[in-house]
Amino acid sequence: MVAPLREVRARVGAEGGHLHASFDIDVLDPGTAPAVGTAVPGGDTFREAHLIMERLHDSRLVGSLDVVELNLFLGERGRSARVRVELVASLLGRRILDRPIIDAVPHSDRLN
């Protein structure tokens, strides 16, 4: 999962482009986020999805985001909504654990 993401980031970064992230919550295993229209048994775990979101944030290439597929009528007391909020927060820079940031932007191009 990390290798293809690294390749996409490298290509987009080399072209000076941006990424659009489309987060469809039903990619997650129903044990993690059950309130979805199309459950995918064996889908991504929270940890896997969080890693992807952190890596996207670290790339500094995400220019837009859409988040879809949450069905609160499935009655799980908002657990899926909370998972979704946590994952979007990861994409926006919130961290669970401190770890080195993987730079996609050269030091000379960073804002101070």
What does the pLDDT profile of the chain (112 residues) look like in tens digits? 778 888 888 899 889 899 999 999 989 999 899 898 888 889 999 999 999 999 999 999 999 999 988 888 886 788 888 999 999 999 999 887 655 554 444 444 444 3
Q: How many other CB atoms sit within 10 Å of the CB of residue 50?
A: 21
What's the whole-model pTM score?
Answer: 0.76
Query: Which sequence spans correspond to the domains of the chain?
Result: 2-97
Q: Which residues contact 30 (CB under 8 A, 6 or more apart)?
A: 36, 39, 40, 41, 43
Residue 99: what pLDDT? 52
**pLDDT in the model for residue 98:** 58
